[in-house]
Structure 1
Amino acid sequence: MLDSVARLPQYSARHEVVCEALGENLEARLADGDPDYLRRNLPTSLATVLASVVAYERYVDECGPPSCLGGYSVGQWTALYAAATLDFRTLVEVVTRRAKLMDACLENQNTGMLAVIGLPLRPLEALCAEFAGRGLYLRPSTINCPGQYSLSGTLEAIEQALAELAPLHPKRLLRLPLQGAWHCDLLAPAARAFAEYLDTLTLAMPNVPMVDNVTGTWLDAAALRATLATHLHRPVLWERCVRTLLEDGCTEVVEVGPGELLTRFGFFLDRKVRFRCYRPGVP
């Protein structure tokens, strides 16, 4: 996750701040390849933020600042950093507190996430509603692009969903290697605690327009703290975010950070628009 940015000049100082918050050497732990460590919320959140920030800073040096911003899940905080809402040390502190609250909320609960590829959203919503009537908790948690979704809930509900969705012949059903059921109402207590924490912070208004995961529309800066707290227990409306960008005239969407998943989502939304993944030092 850090290989593409580890040689950049900004990396060492940024990595030091992350290691201080984490209480261990993040790069060394990731290099160990321990699958249990890679499932943990806190180190993966901090690694995502570190890789994204360092790559973004190099992108701005090479290409100039963007006209608007968006971030996916914890990446919404990286986007806020890019919009000068908070400094890097505060960003790391916020992401650390966020992850710890999420983990504590779901501690000792058997929860997880299921990726569903190749089915429409409507039957997934219907299944979740049916499960609720049967006392099983399962909810849509990310709406990425047509045919690309995730569901969050209890492991019992996920196992039942695997059995009941298979006859619909999806392209793929995949239990995600994550530690909890993110972006669903099981995290409502964490969202309330996070809201109280955010009230203690000084956050500047974003200096460029941003799309918001919670609504899929432009972020309402006046409701910034409330939106960021709600973000913990509401689905990520990424498809709607990208469509908002395109409807407002965006002709190029650049993914900056680890992986290229968001770029691939874009291909399913509008092939006339250029979606590309930026890698430092790669033409």
Structure 2
Amino acid sequence: MKVGLLFSGQGAQQVDMGMDLYDALPAYKERIDQASQVLGYDLTEVMTDEVKIKQTEFAQPAIVAMSLGILAALGDALPKPTAALGLSLGEYSALTAAGAMDFDQVIAILKDRGHYMQAVGDKNPGKMVAVMGDDQDLIVRVFKECQDKGLQVWPANFNTFSQLVIGGVTADVEEAVGELLAAGIKRTIDLPVTGAFHTPLLNEAAEQLGSRLSSEKFNNLDYLVYSNTTAKPFESQEIKEVLTKQIVSPTYFAQDLQQMVDAGVDTLIEIGPGKTLTKFAKKIAPKEIERLNIGDLTSFEETKAFLEDAAKG
């Protein structure tokens, strides 16, 4: 069995997420309590607060702490992964799981990253829209025409080969959507966010994060972790630079997942709140590839039992 781990990104968070895991699994509880110590506030209070869990500065450390807590609870039931991939924020979970940084380190970084992105996003509000269509070249071409007219709008997330999220200044995004519909795109979905993540509107946050990461030390990776920014595996010496660029660069989750599948991964396990990445995987990975997710106690127990049975042969 060749396991590929998929780690949830921001937007997957839900009120009360992980609380059943917290009550039932000592190793998970230990990780969440450890994160609370690093953050200086009770993370379980954030996870049960409908307002705070939606806010960038709180959601980012909460999602990654949950994901890494699940890994800790799985323990030896999880074989060494062949590769890992996280959507945007989820890259921090993937890099930590593969040994690039330790738990306290990543939580401290995300406390600051979330704060930077929250503050800059509030100062430079924007809009993000998911555009559905198989012809992504057409979408990008329309975008280029919009940019040539001076519109501040950019491709932000290549989630699947038929879903591309765009972002930018609200009025400009709305004008670009009109151009896309006129060009033949049939369906768009407004996303419930106030900032245009992965666009130049967050340049200031990227600069702040770059300064924050300058003194950090990162370890060699234990296995492949694919970068959303470069659409290829991370190199340890490039982690600081790539994570800084990630804030203002489009993500290439679809291309990364395709590479993971092409490399022979036969079991995908999404770790963290929600099932967004599992849904993406259904549109990208062949049917014969096993797709599992762990986001609550029931799915944790089911996946652990699957892994233990597979280990027995």
Q: TM-score, normalised by structure 1?
A: 0.89
Instruction: Please give the secondary structure, in 2, of the residue aligned with 1:139.
Output: strand
Compared CA separation, residues 134 and 23, structure 1 to 2 (3 A): farther
Q: What residue in structure 2 maps to residue 250 of structure 1?
A: 265
- 1:10-61, CA deviations, whole angstroms, 9 ceiling, x for partnerless residues? 2333323433455543333443423xx3432111112211221111222343
Whether contact under 8 Å (2:32, 2:66) holds in the other structure is no
Whether contact under 8 Å (2:157, 2:165) holds in the other structure is yes
Q: Percent identity?
A: 22
Q: Quick check: 1:282 aligned with 2:302? A: yes
Whether contact under 8 Å (1:143, 1:239) holds in the other structure is yes
Q: What residue in structure 1 maps to residue 109 of structure 2?
A: 94
Could you tell me which amino acid in structure 2 is paired with residue 274 of structure 1?
E
Q: Quick check: 1:149 aligned with 2:164? A: yes
Instruction: Please give the secondary structure, in 2, of the residue aligned with 1:183.
Output: coil
Aligned length: 280
Q: Which moved more, 1:150-159 or 1:4-13?
A: 4-13
Q: What residue in structure 1 maps to residue 18 of structure 2?
A: 2
Q: What residue in structure 2 maps to residue 105 of structure 1?
A: 120
Q: What residue in structure 1 maps to residue 7 of structure 2?
A: none
Could you tell me which amino acid in structure 1 is paired with residue 289 of structure 2?
V
Q: Quick check: 1:64 aligned with 2:79? A: yes
Could you tell me which amino acid in structure 2 is paired with residue 6 of structure 1?
Y
Q: Quick check: 1:12 aligned with 2:63? A: no
Q: 5+ residue gaps in structure 2?
A: 1-16, 304-313
Could you tell me which amino acid in structure 2 is paired with residue 99 of structure 1?
G
RMSD: 2.1
Give the one of 220, 225, 240 matched to 1:205: 220
Query: In 1, Cα distance between the equivalents of 2:292 and 2:186?
Result: 27
Whether contact under 8 Å (2:124, 2:201) holds in the other structure is no
Whether contact under 8 Å (1:213, 1:237) holds in the other structure is yes
Could you tell me which amino acid in structure 2 is paired with residue 2 of structure 1?
G
Pairwise CA distance, 1:225: 1.4
- 1:203-249, CA deviations, whole angstroms, 9 ceiling, x for partnerless residues? 11112121111111111222221111111111110011111112222
Whether contact under 8 Å (1:206, 1:221) holds in the other structure is yes
Instruction: Please give the secondary structure, in 2, of the residue aligned with 1:70.
Output: strand
Whether contact under 8 Å (2:158, 2:252) holds in the other structure is yes
Query: In 2, Cα distance between the equivalents of 1:179 and 1:59?
Result: 35
Q: What residue in structure 1 maps to residue 289 of structure 2?
A: 273
Whether contact under 8 Å (1:40, 1:178) holds in the other structure is no
Query: In 2, Cα distance between the equivalents of 1:144 and 1:83?
Result: 23
Q: What residue in structure 1 maps to residue 50 of structure 2?
A: 33
Q: 5+ residue gaps in structure 1?
A: none
Pairwise CA distance, 1:282: 2.6
Compared CA separation, residues 220 and 29, structure 1 to 2 (3 A): closer
Q: What residue in structure 2 maps to residue 180 of structure 1?
A: 195
Compared CA separation, residues 39 and 137, structure 1 to 2 (3 A): farther
Matches within 5 A, 1:192-231: 192-231=207-246
Compared CA separation, residues 66 and 28, structure 1 to 2 (3 A): same
Over 6 Å off, 4+ runs: none
Q: TM-score, normalised by structure 2?
A: 0.81
The structure showing larger relative contact order (alpha-carbon pairs under 8 Å, at least 6 residues apart) is 2
Instruction: Please give the secondary structure, in 2, of the residue aligned with 1:150.
Output: strand
Pairwise CA distance, 1:4: 4.9
